[in-house]
Structure 1
Amino acid sequence: MKWNRGGTEYSLRVLPLGGFIEPMGEHPDSEGGDDPRALWRRPAWQRATVFCAGVVLNAVMALVLFVLAPVVGMQVPVPIVGEVLPDMPAAKAGIEPGDRIVSLNGEKVESFEDLVLTVALRSAGSPFELVIERAGGGDAAPVRETKTVRSVRTAAFPAPMLGIRPEGATVIDGLHPGSLALQAGLAQGDRILSVNGNAVETWRGLEKALADAPAGPLVLAIERDGKTQDLKIDPAELSVYDYGMIYPTEIGDVEEDSPAEAAGIQAGDRVAAIDEKPWPTSQKIIEAVTAAGTDRQIRFTVWRKGRLVDLACKAVKQEASDKPRVGVAMQPAIGEPVQVGHVDAGGPADKAGIRSGDIILKVGEEGNAPGDWADLTVVLMGAGDKAVPVQVERGTSRLMARIRPHIEPQERLSMTGVEGQALYVPLPRIQSPLVAVRRGVKRTLMTFGRVYRNVRQLVTGQLGSKTLAGPVGIVKFSFDIAAYGTGTLMDFLGMLSVCVAVLNFLPVPPFDGGHVLFVILEKIKGSPFSVRLRVAIWVAGWVGVAVLFILITYQDIARWVPQM
């Protein structure tokens, strides 16, 4: 729909993603440059205001969508803890799976996303007071407790976090190649309704039902494409491909004034040895610290940017506990460089000549460089029981190996290698316009803060390109979100509008922020840049955007279309 008013053409477009402007006479030598109303004749502040109009409209559209979504009715990830990551702040504070987060720093928590955004927008190390509700035993009423938890930032998760994940629904969101569930015939989008006739409603409940089921064949009732069917599975026909190696253990965070900090241990260090025991798992590190107690020095050797560094410290007792601690949070070292941690003696990796500490450069017949352990696992598991060529770097040498997995028959089905969706529940509709506006403003500001933080992390390399989604990914995710109702889709479009606003205001041609940057530079210069220079810069900008668009679209297709 288009209309003309006062010499300006207005239009309404199909997708509600904010707005854009196309000014006349931006440069003296451009079309309309000789018109008395040409933009270049206006003061710099007016030109900058015009170029900001599209960004402002995106922000306004996001606000409107965020205000209306809970009025229409929406669903949100339930604020219940589904998983507590080991050795992270939440685990140390005593938070457990099944705990409902009632409030955070005195503010009511409506969804798990509220918790994630609030923590992510504060500095790492900030304290948070959580009121949790925990089910009582038997018929006892739920018990409320207050926990104080400090956030951490880790190499694997650049945004500050507490170390908890949301309660999951029994809907499969992804299956890794070689996983037992994939071998058993489960598919993305399947909703698991019961295990041997026992209904399951959450991911934790599903995992417990599988663990409690007798060894041997079982029956899963699933919902697929809107139809219910029984899937009969015999675990004896499934196999786990064991390669006899695992990723190293990495220091995710170091507490202030802790023994680890005093010893010089840093976040990002990979534990190459503890008390001369090479490349220990996180459990072995805990056992070594416990065995040492508080009486003797614990010797660490850490791998830091290609160098081995020897350090030592004494443990201290934890608060309200007799367990010794050195003040670190541990995590899997799954990112770049892809490095081998513990290797099982006599296992497939050991027989192939792969050693702890090796850096994996290439894997597979095509010799692809894995970006992380997930990439490596996809290639290894996708090869089944075939030998896989692997190139490793050991010191200054590069070596080739072929690793064939050990096949382990199974007695039980497990969900290892399966990703589930978060459990969504209806949010009570907001009737008060004032409450809806207040919530919309808060959500808009928090979303802008999160998106700007993500952009900064992308620029600094803390986040990789795999975290980006293009048109294919956005459309796919939109369809997934639409299943939760109109209000939930509106909320997603609001987040998308914020992303467009932030992207459009980047000071890079051809975005509106690039136009504002040119206005500032021309004000400093005292005259417009030549059309030839502007065109060259804008063409380069569009080429860069086109290349990025193609790469992200290919990444979306490869991620969402399995046959690719």
Structure 2
Amino acid sequence: MLTSLLGVLLMIVGFGVLIFVHELGHFIAAKWAGIRTEAFAVGMGPVVASWRMGIGAVVGSTERKVVARTGKRAAELTDEELIRHGIGETEYSLRWLPIGGFVKMLGQEDANPNAVSDDPRSYNMRPIGKRMVVVSAGVIMNVILAIALFMTAFMVGVRFEAPVIGYVPPTTPAGLTMPANAASLGITEPGLRPGDRVRAIDGDPARTFADLQIATAMARPGRSITVEVDRRGIPEPVRFELLPVVGAETGLLSIGVTPGRSNRLYEQGFDEIRGYLVDAGIGGVGPGLRLVEADGFPIETFDELGPVVDASNGTPVRTVWRSDEEADQPVTVVENLRVEPAYEELWYPGPQGPTPDEGLLGLSPRVRIQQVLPGSPNEDVLRAGDVILRAGGIDFPRRSQFKNVVQTQPGVDLPLVVARDGVRRDVTVEVNRSGAIGVMLAHDETPATAEPLADVLGGPSSDGELIPTAIAGLDLLGGTRIDAVGGQAIASWPELRAALRTQTEAALNAGTGVTLPLAVTHPTPGTPAGTVPLTLTADQVASLHALGWRSGLDGAFFQPVHTTLSAGGNPITAIQMGFGETHKMIVMTYLTIDRLFRGSVGVKQLRGPVGIIDLGAKILPRGFMWFIFFLGMISVNLAVLNFLPIPIVDGGLFLFLIYEKVKGQPPSLRFQNAATIVGLCLIGTVFIVTFYNDIMRLL
């Protein structure tokens, strides 16, 4: 809580500094241009303290002392009167709200074009060239500040997520696309792979994972991007032509990948994964520890754990976890990681396209509540171990069905039926605005089935043709309990898989199909237990025996692989990197505006001051240099947005000056007033929209 509050306060101050520097640019340029500047304020709102030459420092404004000495307000005094009384023309003030500042120049008010003066030192009486310098000086200062901030960050070094691929959902462009050079490299399967390192995007080097995210988000709608990756075991770069699509969660164009995962567990949010670690047999592992060894094999990234687990043949894997060597009290923990059987991916036509569930031969486990997350609105409603019997009108929903029911009903009270300690219970859960109920899900190991699948798709890229599963025609209902396979009794889903493999081993060796008696208990009261014939083809038998092993660990439990962008202490390199990053951010800001009009970036993605401060506060735990880098990004954005050709911002004023230079006279006051009203309405609308977005994100 204290860290979060400190982050908010630091971000408020940082945001204020950016605006202060912007106004300082206007102030310095105005003094250079000979414009009378009546006030320079740090912050907004009532004056806390101020200083004026000839008056000195006072609490509150110097205005009262000026009036007491001269009988006039400072703005009413001529230059000669100011000199005669020994009073400076500018009041320098510190104000209550640390959100920027302002400069008050004679003859210029952004929101009042009528505030002109015939004084030779007024803004409107100065040469157009000098006024152009004054108008653009704030933007120039923001760009200079951004360069300086980026240089500072790169001199020390900034940690970013490395351009390494993590999880690749099979239904995304990244999972479905064949490499363009697959034939020459001998690649036969589509998609990016976990561990692939992105080397270039559209010919530009990829230094961070953010480079990939930005390039896809800013891609022109309907146009592919070229991504080159280095893949272990492949001698040449693998090249993909990927067509980004709008991501369901972000609303931005995406190819659907997550960053590669390191061997270090997260520290923040550790309580949310503790239950999974206990179930995986490694409950003694603490936050921030690194997985350094598995069954004697060194582990540097999460992806390297998979092959070790798969080779274990179901026996627990000995894992070694360590803290950093520089820790005050280095810790080493040795735990045996529980290994689980892997199941088939059962693809079916879901509401959003091909959707996967896990199971065997068309049967899926029921859904179990693994953990109720701290702070969940349903802490007093659901319990770990609850099994979902009914949701959204679906009896015994599969995992994907249950998630879809919850996600499509945000902000409602959802009735559920659960089994708790063997007793059927009716409960009502609260679904939050994001379509979540604050729980983590798992499979129920009891060998009872969720709603069976009589037909499945051939995979995520299927043409829609449905393929009958092995249980098609058996008329099994959701909730059916499997008691035995071929006379071999079972008590769990792992035992069901083991029994199926044991009972089909002879058929596998012979390369034939087989029919097995399946002892079942029906869920309908009064229906006696019985036996049904389960017929497997030779291909189904082979697929069953091809299933491997996995752990209960998820890549999402581990921190991303990081890389550090640094100038290595070389100031020349830091300057080059600072200029390069500033140029990239300027181009990216203009691209964002372009994509906003094209529709590939939604209005919901925009953030206002509240959202920027909230985001900055969350960034602070990543390190102070990341905070400096973030301020550089915001400074560039302020520069670009302030110089857009919109009335009342610097770009609009500059446009009026160009008109005056070409025509020999400024636009009419009537036009300027109308343009100002339009500009105020536009900026007011943007403020309301971004403020609404910011508040909705915080709720």
**Given the two structures, how large is their TM-score scaled by the length of structure 1?**
0.55
Which of 639, 656, 659 is residue 501 of structure 1 equivalent to?
639
1:147 equivalenced with 2:285 (yes/no): no
Distance 1:53-1:135 versus aligned 2 partners, 3 A rule:
same
Give the CA deviation at 1:498: 1.8
The aligned counterpart of 2:585 is 447
* 1:80-126, Cα deviation, whole Å (9 max, x unpaired): 22233425247522642223334556655433334444555554544
Contact kept, 8 Å, 1:200 with 1:209, in 2: the verdict is no
Aligned residue number for residue 130 of structure 1: 228
**Given that residues 470 and 549 in structure 1 are in contact (C-alpha distance below 8 angstroms), is that contact kept between their aligned partners in structure 2?**
no
Secondary structure at the residue paired with 1:492? helix
Specify the code of the residue in structure 1 equivalent to 2:604. Answer: S
Q: Does 1:204 align with 2:303?
A: yes
Query: How far is 1:181 from its partner?
Result: 4.8
Q: Which amino acid in 2 is paired with 1:447?
A: M
Matched, 1:26 2:26: no
Equivalent-residue separation in structure 1 for 2:255 and 2:596 (angstroms)? 22
Equivalent residue letter for 2:168: V
Write the letter of the residue equivalent to 1:148. Answer: R
Q: Is the partner of 2:246 in helix, strand or coil?
A: coil
Q: What residue is the counterpart of 1:377 in the other structure? A: 436
Asked if 1:168 corresponds to 2:261, the answer is yes
Map of 1:425 onto structure 2? 563
Q: Which moved further from structure 2: 516-525 or 59-68? A: 516-525
Corresponding residue to 2:669 among 528, 552, 556: 528
Mark the CA change 1:153 to 1:227 in structure 2 (over 3 Å): closer, same or farther: farther
Partner of 1:140: none
Q: Between 468-477 and 410-419, report the one with greater CA deviation.
A: 410-419
Task: Using CA pairs under 8 Å that are at least 6 residues apart, name the structure with larger relative contact order, 1 or 2.
Answer: 1
C-alpha separation in 2, matches of 1:360 and 1:129 = 34
Contact kept, 8 Å, 1:249 with 1:281, in 2: the verdict is: yes
Q: Which residue of 2 aligns with 1:327?
A: none
Alignment partner, residue 364 of structure 1: 412
| One-letter amino acid of the structure 2 residue matched with residue 146 of structure 1 | P
How far apart, CA to CA, are the structure 1 residues paired with 2:267 and 2:223? Answer: 32
The residue aligned with 2:620 is 478
Summarize the Cα distance change of 1:68–1:421 in structure 2 as closer, same or farther, 3 Å threshold. Answer: same
Give the TM-score of the pair, scaled to structure 2: 0.46
Deviation at 1:528, TM superposition (A): 1.9
CA offsets, 1:417-445, max 9 Å, x none? 95754322334535666654444443323
Question: Hey, what's the Cα distance between the residues in 2 that align with 1:85 and 1:72?
Answer: 36
Give the Cα–Cα distance (whole angstroms) in 2 for the partners of residues 520 and 464 of structure 1: 31
Report the equivalent of 2:630: 492
Paired AA for residue 560 in structure 2: A
Report the alpha carbon displacement of residue 71 of structure 1 after superposing the two structures with TM. Answer: 3.4
**In structure 1, what is the Cα distance between the partners aligned to 2:647 and 2:430?**
33
Taking the TM superposition and a 5 Å limit, the aligned residue runs for 1:207-286 are 270-271=352-353, 280-281=354-355
Mapped contact 1:89–1:150 kept (Cα < 8 A): no
Task: Report the AA paired with residue 471 of structure 1.
Answer: I
Aligned equivalents of 2:309 and 2:117: distance in 1?
A: 72
Structure 1 residue 474 displacement after superposition: 1.1
Distance in 2 of aligned mates of 1:207 and 1:22: 64
| Structure-2 change in CA distance of 1:219 and 1:431 (3 Å) | closer
Q: Give me the whole-angstrom Cα distance separating, in 2, the residues matched to 1:457 and 1:556.
A: 22
Aligned equivalent of 1:92: 178
- 1:503-556 CA-partner distances (Å, limit 9, x unpaired): 333455664345456768998983124998688667756755664565455456
- Change beyond 3 A, Cα 1:379–1:44: farther
Matched, 1:52 2:136: yes
Matches within 5 A, 1:502-521: 502-507=640-645, 511-513=649-651, 515-516=653-654
Aligned partner letter, 1:83: Y
- Structure number with bigger Rg: 2
SS at match of 2:237: strand
Cα distance change on mapping 1:530 and 1:233 into 2, 3 Å: farther
Question: Contact 2:643 / 2:652 at 8 angstroms: preserved in 1?
Answer: yes
Distance 1:163 1:115, change over 3 A: same
SS in 1 for 2:239: strand
Cα distance in structure 2, aligned partners of 1:33 and 1:547? 34
- Give the distance between the partners of 2:145 and 2:100, measured in 1 at CA: 5
Q: Distance in 1 between matches of 2:408 and 2:215?
A: 37
1:112–1:541 distance in 2 versus 1, CA, 3 Å: closer
The structure-2 alpha-carbon separation of the partners of 1:454 and 1:104, relative to structure 1 and needing over 3 Å to count, comes to closer
2:667 corresponds to which letter in structure 1?
Answer: G
**Matches of 1:542 and 1:227, distance apart in 2:** 54
The CA RMSD measured in Å over matched residues stands at: 5.9
Q: How does 1:39-78 map to 2 (within 5 A)?
A: 39-41=123-125, 47=131, 50-78=134-162
Task: List per-residue Cα deviations over 1:354-375 (Å, max 9, x = no partner).
Answer: 999999455433999976xxx2
Query: Is the CA contact 1:364–1:379 (under 8 Å) kept in the aligned structure 2?
Result: no
- Tell me what 1:465 maps to: 604
1:348 to 1:176, Cα distance in 2 relative to 1, 3 A:
farther
Taking only the aligned residue pairs, the percentage that are identical comes to 21
Q: Structure 1 pair 23/67, CA: closer, same or farther in 2 (3 Å)?
A: same
Unpaired runs of 5+ in structure 2?
1-19, 44-93, 180-186, 339-345, 359-387, 415-428, 445-478, 480-491, 495-549
Aligned length: 424
Partners of 1:205 and 1:218 in 2: CA distance:
13
Secondary structure of the corresponding residue to residue 491 of structure 1: helix
Alpha-carbon distance in structure 1 between the residues aligned to 2:555 and 2:645: 41
Gaps (5+ residues) in structure 1?
137-142, 237-244, 251-269, 272-279, 285-344, 386-404, 559-564
How far 1:154 moved relative to its partner? Answer: 0.5
Q: 1:33 to 1:534 in 2, by over 3 A?
A: farther
SS in 2 for 1:26: coil
Return the offset for 1:191. 2.0
The answer to whether the 8 A contact 2:294-2:319 is kept is no
Structure 2 SS opposite 1:79: coil
| TM-aligned CA distance change 1:381 to 1:452, over 3 Å | farther
Query: Measured at CA, do residues 515 and 148 of structure 1 come closer, stay the same or move farther in structure 2, by a change above 3 Å?
Result: same
Contact 2:142 2:636 in 1 (8 A): yes
**1:174 and 1:418 in contact (8 A); partners too:** no
